[in-house]
Structure 1
Amino acid sequence: MEQQEGARRIVRDCIGIKPDDQVLLITDTGRPPAVEQALYEACIEAGAIPKRLSFDGVLKDGQPPEAISIAMKQANVVICITTSTLGYSAAAKTCTQQGGRVIVMTEATEELLTNKALEADFVNLQGRVQAVMKAFDQAKKVRVTTQKGTDLSFHIDGRTSHCCKGTCLDPGTMAAVPDMEVYIAPIENTMAGTLIADVMGTGMGLLTQPIHLEIQDGKAYRITGGTQADHLRKKVENIPGGTVVAEFAIGLNPCATPTGSIVIDEGIYGTGHFALGSNTGFGGNNVCPQHLDLVYEKPTIYLDESLFMKDGVLTEL
């Protein structure tokens, strides 16, 4: 697939842009200009004339510069092609509350536009997404293991699952595109065990060496595993709420392949991910200015002692 065709698929099939949409394209200096340009041209082809804004990528307490926040609140379709997520910003929340759509394409690279993730049958996969959400919502306790040594137990009772459907078509919604996943906020102080991330991590790209996290009372108290682990540890150790495990999720896009870009990799079917940091945007209680995902492959998952996924394959869905 050529890059421009990938951009058309995102604009047409994943976002559904119409000529009367007030589209805002946001990017930063850490992203390849070709991604924003391709999406801009695809919007023009769809009949919309996007407003374009760029900044240096620096967020203050998770918030973009004021000019960008104001513009986000005025648009009804906001496409965020940024290095750090704008999905948890106050402006994104305001936009969706007003009926707008916020599309998060964090760490998007040129490879995203040609990745097979865009070939997924998003419509026919919605049944699987809904079934996984129902299973998460009904469960109270989770155990996750992998053959590489992950072994974590935690509670999710009383929490509500959320999803990225690979699309963002409904007013008042936010989604990562073309990410497909179901995610939930664990009860913050209940998680204990070991996580070994071996695919990729936010801000780190593909992992060259697994990252080992030892977790107790819902917090990562030891992070080891090489230079990327050192990078992660420095990112979280002095940030309020930074070591709290904020998210449990599984990917559901059967066409996605690893790229080092979180908007693709966290949605790969056969992987799961946990995140450190903020989860107040999806039902958690941990306030933090950042949200850092860690993707690992082939989870075996038990929901209330019942086998739900075996080595990355759903057992019944």
Structure 2
Amino acid sequence: MGDGYSPRYSADENRMARKKKDDADDLYIEEAEDELDAETEKALARAADTVCRECMQIQRKENILIVTDPHTSTIGQALYEAAARISDRVLLVMMPTTHRHGDEPPAPVADLMRKQDVVLAPTRYSLTHTRARMQACREGTRIATMPGITMQMFIEGGMTTDFNAMQSAIAQLGKSLKRQRKVEVKTESGTDITFEIGGRWELGDNGICNRPGQVTNLPAGKILAMPKEGTMEGTIVIDGTWDAAVVSGPLTIKVEAGMVTKIKGEGSDDVKAMFVEASRKLKPQQQENVWTVAEFGFGMNPRARLVGNVLEDEKVQGTCYFAFGDNTSLGGHSSCGVHVTGVLKQPTVTIGDVDLLNEGDIRI
């Protein structure tokens, strides 16, 4: 392993890190519990209606499950009310907040997810890359996950885009990428990385989720693919967002044969500690999986903004992103239950013979 793999932390440093996380979670809950004014309530209802009618296209008599937690309960309630105006088979479930993206929901929630036509999941941490989500989709449930969504994100920005127009734009660009496999990404901040795509380009994250087994993020708007395992070489410099915060300085990640070998820069100790903690919960033969570069994609949502939350930030038109950890939902072999994303600003991206982005400007 590279020297980025084994950070040491004192007990005081660990306690301080936990306190920061607890304080952030408390602020998040306070936002959910704030009294809403009349205009915000109307905007919340409109956004929930958009999700149910335009994005999910819920039909009368469909079985609907809303999965929420204490951090996102206001949005969960709004989605429940919007869905109940269409179908009389709507269930709202409040589950405990999980610890990180990719943690499995409680078994009763996972079992309920499998038995629905539609699942809407505004939760603090992502259910997208969980076994529960994948099994439910295999059994025909269509699912929209909204990890880390805030009230502001729900009623503004990327959620206000024209989803049908964006679906068409993604489909059109997808035709140009269909047979393109080699990717090169560069940024002025130091990114210089090459890799091949494994499998196909995924075009379904367009906000329209109306067929059995589909899954989308909301706000939506990206094209993505799994890097072919073992092919990625070079350096990634995260200069936009890491997970749930805008970075205060560049985070440099060295990659060899598709695996992270070194992390340095702003906040690197915290990042390494997170991955080490996640690896310790895995079987020895799985522990290296947390260092896999699991996903690459680029934003296609013209209304999305860089807000310090990767749910919206990775959809910003003119950005690209890399995710690390679990890639099994994309057909890979890295199973580890953690999936964390970093966003790059103003990248130059070449995909095969397609000049996609030039310093953040779309070329095609």
Both structures adopt the same fold (TM-score exceeding 0.5): yes
Q: Where does residue 187 of structure 1 map in the other structure?
A: 228
Per-residue deviation at 1:305? 5.4
Matched, 1:129 2:170: yes
Q: After TM superposition, where is structure 1 displaced by more than 4 Å over at least 4 residues in a row?
A: none
Cα distance in 2, alignment partners of residues 245 and 18 from structure 1: 38
1:77-106 CA distance string (max 9 Å, x none): 111112222122222223222222111111
CA contact (8 A) 1:10 1:178 kept: no
Residue identity in the other structure for 1:27: T
Residue identity in the other structure for 2:306: P
Considering only CA atoms, is the larger Rg found in Structure 1 or Structure 2? 2
Classify the secondary structure of the residue corresponding to 1:302: strand
Cα distance in 2, alignment partners of residues 220 and 276 from structure 1: 9
Per-residue deviation at 1:20? 1.1
Q: 322, 326, 343: which one pairs with 1:278?
A: 326
CA contact (8 A) 2:119 2:143 kept: yes
Q: Where does residue 179 of structure 2 map in the other structure?
A: 138
Cα distance in 2, alignment partners of residues 174 and 135 from structure 1: 23
Gap change, CA 1:140 and 1:47, over 3 Å in 2: closer
Q: 247, 250, 257: which one pairs with 1:207?
A: 247
Matched, 1:43 2:83: yes
Cα distance in 1, alignment partners of residues 274 and 131 from structure 2: 22
Deviates more, 1:121-130 or 1:19-28: 121-130
Q: 97, 108, 124: which one pairs with 1:83?
A: 124
Residue identity in the other structure for 1:235: M
Q: Where does residue 6 of structure 2 map in the other structure?
A: none
Classify the secondary structure of the residue corresponding to 1:74: coil
Per-residue deviation at 1:186? 0.6
Cα distance in 2, alignment partners of residues 255 and 136 from structure 1: 23
Matched, 1:34 2:107: no
What is the aligned-residue RMSD (CA, Å)? 2.0
Residue identity in the other structure for 2:209: C
Matched, 1:231 2:270: yes
Q: 238, 241, 249: which one pairs with 1:197?
A: 238
Per-residue deviation at 1:310? 1.0
Cα distance in 2, alignment partners of residues 273 and 252 from structure 1: 12
Classify the secondary structure of the residue corresponding to 1:236: helix
Cα distance in 1, alignment partners of residues 316 and 88 from structure 2: 31
Classify the secondary structure of the residue corresponding to 2:291: coil
Q: Where does residue 301 of structure 1 map in the other structure?
A: 349
Q: 159, 175, 178: which one pairs with 2:199?
A: 159
Cα distance in 2, alignment partners of residues 261 and 166 from structure 1: 18
Q: Where does residue 155 of structure 2 map in the other structure?
A: 114
Per-residue deviation at 1:48? 4.0
CA contact (8 A) 1:115 1:257 kept: no
Residue identity in the other structure for 1:218: G
Residue identity in the other structure for 2:127: L
Per-residue deviation at 1:153? 0.8
Per-residue deviation at 1:285? 2.4
Unpaired stretches in structure 2, ≥5 consecutive residues: 1-39, 280-286
Classify the secondary structure of the residue corresponding to 2:290: coil
CA contact (8 A) 1:179 1:266 kept: no
Q: Where does residue 262 of structure 2 map in the other structure?
A: 222
Cα distance in 2, alignment partners of residues 295 and 50 from structure 1: 36
Q: Where does residue 31 of structure 2 map in the other structure?
A: none
Classify the secondary structure of the residue corresponding to 1:159: strand
Per-residue deviation at 1:114? 1.7
CA contact (8 A) 1:155 1:186 kept: yes
Unpaired stretches in structure 1, ≥5 consecutive residues: none
Gap change, CA 1:92 and 1:269, over 3 Å in 2: same
Q: Where does residue 134 of structure 2 map in the other structure?
A: 93
Which protein has the bigger helix share? 2
Provide the TM-score with structure 1 as the length reference: 0.91
Per-residue deviation at 1:51? 1.1
Q: Where does residue 189 of structure 2 map in the other structure?
A: 148
Per-residue deviation at 1:49? 4.4
Classify the secondary structure of the residue corresponding to 2:165: coil
Classify the secondary structure of the residue corresponding to 1:237: helix
CA contact (8 A) 2:55 2:207 kept: yes
1:13-50 CA distance string (max 9 Å, x none): 11122231211111123x23221122122222334442
Cα distance in 2, alignment partners of residues 46 and 205 from structure 1: 36
Cα distance in 2, alignment partners of residues 8 and 306 from structure 1: 38
